[in-house]
Amino acid sequence: MTDQPLLVAEGLSKNYGARIGCRDVCLAVHPGEVLAVVGESGSGKSTLLGLLSTELTPDAGRVSYRMRDGRLADLSTLGPAERRLLMRTDWGFVRQSPEAGLRMAVSAGGNVGERLMAVGWRHYGDIRAEALDWLARVEIAADRIDDDPRAFSGGMRQRLQIARNLVTRPRLVFMDEPTGGLDVSVQARLLDLVRSLVAELGLAVVIVTHDLAVARLLSHRMVVMRHGRVIETGLTDQVLDDPREAYTQLLVSSVLAA
């Protein structure tokens, strides 16, 4: 981790008509850091992720990102071409539903190779070799490379989505409930995989989850949201073991012990 933040949000607000999506959120993500955003359903987690990843436009506030050349750029000032380039090279977005993040009618190899072709790879053999390498990293057998994701289990689809996002070596990955809808043993394997990839590649991750166990396992720092506001931030174990706010205490005490 360095002193210079990778992503900075200042005073982010977003309303849906009279309803508050997200209000006055400030946060910073440093290189190599995993930040968990937790809170109950409707607390504004996904809105915040949408704002950070420029999929939503904030009503107030701004998001800045440190480009590869070291300058901190206000994302709202980037043109659409530059923003899209950023999204498919320097960023990844792992969605809750793999159907939303994958091309279901395209083979696993094509899914992983798409970003490479988008940045100008024009050698089939190289693309295929890179795809095979990434499938191996996410523990998908090489002989499944030409199967399309419809033939994959939920856990495999999610791992494929991760490979598809990481193939261009992004520096920042957004994850929206990546383990939602998976059974516990598959969840555990996926979390293990994500944790090792994050450590290996030095990724910065913003992960949205309602599952405090996921936050504890993956994240270094966490942000607790309620009613669109950030009510508590801190190191993950500090927040989880010694919650300060009443709501966080409630959240932590609501976890069922197995």
Partner 1 sequence: MSAAPTGAMPAITYNFAYLDEQTKRMIRRAILKAIAIPGYQVPFAAREMPMPYGWGTGGVQVTAAVLGPDDVLKVIDQGADDTTNAVAIRGFFEKTAGVATTTATREATIIQTRHRIPETALSEEQILVYQVPIPEPLRFLEPRETETRALHALAEYGLMHVKLYEDIARHGHIATTYAYPVEVAGRYVMDPSPIPKFDNPKMDDCPALQLFGAGREKRIYAIPPYTSVRSLDFDDHPFRVQRFDKPCALCGAEGVYLDEVILDDRGGRMFVCSDTDHCEGRQAEGHVGEMGVAGGSPSPRPSSPRGEGVAGGTPHLSPRGGGRPVGAGEGASGAEKLP
Question: In what helix (H) or strand (E) does residue 33 lie, and over which residues does it extend?
Answer: none
Q: Is the Cβ–Cβ distance between 209 and 38 less than 8 Å?
A: yes
Answer yes or no whether residue 33 interacts with partner 1 by CB under 8 A.
Answer: no
**Least distance to partner 1 from the beta carbon of 208, Å?**
24
Question: Which CB atom, from 67 or from 106, has the smaller least distance to partner 1?
Answer: 106
Answer yes or no whether residue 107 interacts with partner 1 by CB under 8 A.
Answer: yes
**Least distance to partner 1 from the beta carbon of 16, Å?**
21
Question: Which CB atom, from 111 or from 248, has the smaller least distance to partner 1?
Answer: 111
Residues 122-161 that bind partner 1 (CB under 8 A): 122-125, 127-128, 145-146
Question: Which CB atom, from 13 or from 165, has the smaller least distance to partner 1?
Answer: 165
Q: Is the Cβ–Cβ distance between 25 and 229 less than 8 Å?
A: yes
Instruction: Return all residues near 237 (Cβ < 8 A) that are at least 6 apart.
Output: 216
Residues 64-93 that bind partner 1 (CB under 8 A): 80-81, 84
Strand residues in 120-251 grouped as ranges (E): 172-176, 204-209, 221-226, 229-235
Q: Given candidates 2, 103, 153, 169, which one binds partner 1 under the rule CB under 8 A?
A: 103
Q: Is the Cβ–Cβ distance between 107 and 163 less than 8 Å?
A: no
**Least distance to partner 1 from the beta carbon of 200, Å?**
26
Answer yes or no whether residue 169 interacts with partner 1 by CB under 8 A.
Answer: no
The rounded distance, in Å, linking the Cα atoms of 207 and 197 is 14
Q: Given candidates 1, 26, 118, 199, which one binds partner 1 under the rule CB under 8 A?
A: 118
**Least distance to partner 1 from the beta carbon of 81, Å?**
5
Q: Is the Cβ–Cβ distance between 15 and 222 less than 8 Å?
A: no
Q: Given candidates 92, 110, 155, 178, which one binds partner 1 under the rule CB under 8 A?
A: 110
**Closest by alpha carbon to 240, among 179, 220, 181, 34?**
220
Helix 154-166 with 184-201: angle, nearest 10 deg: 10
Q: Is the Cβ–Cβ distance between 220 and 35 less than 8 Å?
A: yes
**Least distance to partner 1 from the beta carbon of 31, Å?**
27
Question: Which CB atom, from 168 or from 233, has the smaller least distance to partner 1?
Answer: 168
What CA–CA distances, in Å, run from 10 to 58, 59, 62?
11, 12, 5
Q: Given candidates 95, 115, 157, 164, which one binds partner 1 under the rule CB under 8 A?
A: 115
Candidates 53-61, 103-111, 227-235, 249-257 — which segment interacts with partner 1 by CB under 8 A? 103-111
Answer yes or no whether residue 57 interacts with partner 1 by CB under 8 A.
Answer: no
Answer yes or no whether residue 113 interacts with partner 1 by CB under 8 A.
Answer: yes
Question: In what helix (H) or strand (E) does residue 63 lie, and over which residues does it extend?
Answer: strand 60-66
Q: Is the Cβ–Cβ distance between 161 and 98 less than 8 Å?
A: yes
Residues that bind partner 1 (CB under 8 A): 80-81, 84, 103, 106-107, 109-110, 113-115, 117-119, 122-125, 127-128, 145-146
